[in-house]
A and B are shown apart, each in its own frame.
Chain A
Amino acid sequence: MLKHRVIPALLLNQHGGLVKTTKFTNPKYIGDPLNAIRIFNTKEVDELMVLDIEASKLQREPNYALIEQFAGECFMPLCYGGGIRTIDQAYKIFKLGVEKICLQTAVLENLQLVRDLVDRFGSSAIVVSVDVKKDWLQRPKLFKSSNHQNSSSNWLTFIRDAVDAGAGEILLNAVDKDGTLLGPDLVIIEQASKEISAPLIALGGIASLKDIKQAVEAGASAVAAGAFFVFHGPHRAVLITYPQYQELLTLFNTK
């Protein structure tokens, strides 16, 4: 049987340092990303996501030299996101040994880039990142991480359109849960997963194995987490962890 993937999501700042945000703000420096990736590799993680959270904001190129180093250490699938706007950039990144790319800023207004990328590289290599933030009436809104504004488009419509354009996976991030360790937003996970046939990766708020299981039960194909895998204890000491394979097997096999 296919297993639900559990994916550490690592964030990079503009200097190539590993950071962890809370609700998309206050990036806290955690350490050297290459070191973290090596540890995750030895822990045999299912997959790894590395997202440069400042590339699009600063309209900067992806850090190819760093991405190449990451790919050289990953004997599991690696997904890179941040600052990708063109086919050429995507091609360059795939050439470095990356399996998947993740897009948001460049495709929020126009999904044609998704279509073009899918034609060239296949659906399974293209992930569309969808950030959702609640407005003051607690209504979920599509959020633009590059300028921290809500988009006027309907978030569920956007997800459906992205999958129709060929996106192989949707990364759904609950902005209000980011870094809080307060548990996933099961409502939006359920709504999104009902909308699409493509795999949904749920991110945001995960703090326990139970949370992972609940996200899967709400319809996520895979669950990603940041703080849960890099912080330890009430004072958020940096400690890279990942569940044992047997723990995950037991988790998903018990009702």
Chain B
Amino acid sequence: MKETKIYIPNLSLGNTKSVVNMINRLGGEVIIANTPDELLNAKKIILPGVGSFDVGMRELKDGGWIEALNKLVLQDKVPILGICLGMQFFFDESEEGILPGLSWIPGKLERFVSNEQNPIKVPHMGWNAVKVNKADGLIPQQEEELRYYFVHSYHAVCANSDHVIATAYHGSDVTAAVQNDNIYGFQFHPEKSHRFGMDLLKNFLSV
């Protein structure tokens, strides 16, 4: 059965409201969990996030969220979608901080390097097209160009390339979407990517 009730941990990490707006528009229901206990009935979770890696990881740790998330995601295999910084938490570590990540997907976050050979703007900000590597994820493989809104200064480098579902080009191919079993992540913002992003959240609602 399709689970359209989405739980979102109530963290101070930015823009939950935009995600809620879009899920509601798609006919889904959002439950904001104020404590890890309120999360325990979740059958589907979205972890949004804007801000810095350590501030976010500290809040997850100090709030007791990590234990609850580990149980739900690793043991009960509850589907979870991380968006932007929310996705970055899934990795082992980030050059942005010193705290360890959740280590659900092997790999780390590296800062974009802009130099004379590769003069890219940092952050990677704006609309970019993605190349889909695997059709079985949340992102459809189709003729029409798929474009999404990105804002980030650190990008995920997966230890296992099978986890990379889609890439975007910004000086080099950059991880745009990842999946490891029930764990999904988008570096871009589907909630701010018009119908392109709406389609992906719709797909997550029907996982």
Chain A interfacial positions (CB closer than 8 Å to B) = 1-5, 41, 44, 46-47, 71-72, 74-77, 94-99, 121-125, 168-169, 197-199, 221-222
Contact = CB atoms under 8 A, between A and B. Distances in A.
Nearest to A168: B123
Contacts of A198: 121
Interface stretch (B32-40, B71-79, B156-164, B194-202): B194-202
Given A72-B21, A77-B189, A3 B121 contact: no
A74 B191 CA distance: 9
Interface string B3-42: 0000000000011011011100100000000000000000
B65 interface: no
B12 to A, nearest CB: 9
Contacts of B194: 41, 44, 75-76
Contacts of A121: 14, 50-51
B70 interface: no
Given A2-B128, A124-B123, A199-B121, A75 B17 contact: no
A94 B125 contact: no
B195 A123 contact: no
B125 to A, nearest CB: 6
Interface residues of B, number: 37
B126 A222 contact: yes
A131 B149 CA distance: 27
Looking at A74, A75, A199, the one whose CB has the most chain B CB atoms below 10 A away is: A75
Interface string B135-159: 0000000000001011111000000
Contacts, number: 97
B66 interface: no
Interface of B: 14-15, 17-18, 20-22, 25, 50-52, 114, 121-129, 147, 149-153, 169-170, 189, 191-195, 197-198
Taking chain B's interface residues, is the majority helix, strand, or loop, or is none over half, making it mixed?
mixed
A28 to B, nearest CB: 29
Contacts of B17: 71, 95-97
Nearest to A95: B17
Contacts of B22: 75
A75 B122 CA distance: 24
Given A99-B18, A121-B14, A199-B125, 6 more contacts: A1-B170, A4-B126, A75-B197, A123-B153, A124-B123, A221-B126
A12 to B, nearest CB: 20
B51 A99 contact: no
A126 to B, nearest CB: 12
Contacts of A125: 14, 50
A2 B15 contact: no
Given A75-B193, A99-B18, A2 B170 contact: yes
8 contacts: A2-B150, A44-B194, A95-B17, A97-B20, A98-B15, A122-B52, A124-B123, A198-B121
Nearest to A200: B121
Contacts of A221: 121, 125-126
Contacts of B21: 71-72, 75, 97
Contact of A76 (B14, B25, B51, B192): B192
A5 B169 contact: no
Nearest to A44: B194
B111 to A, nearest CB: 13
Given A124-B153, A125-B50, A1 B129 contact: yes
Contacts of B50: 99, 121-122, 124-125
A42 to B, nearest CB: 9
A197 B114 contact: yes
B143 to A, nearest CB: 14
Nearest to A118: B52
B151 A124 contact: yes
A119 to B, nearest CB: 9
Nearest to A73: B21
A207 B98 CA distance: 48
A77 B197 CA distance: 12
Which residue, B18, B151, B152, B195, has most C-beta atoms of chain A within 10 A? Answer: B18
B15 A99 contact: yes
Contacts of A95: 17
Contacts of B193: 75-76
Contact of A5 (B123, B124, B127, B170): B127
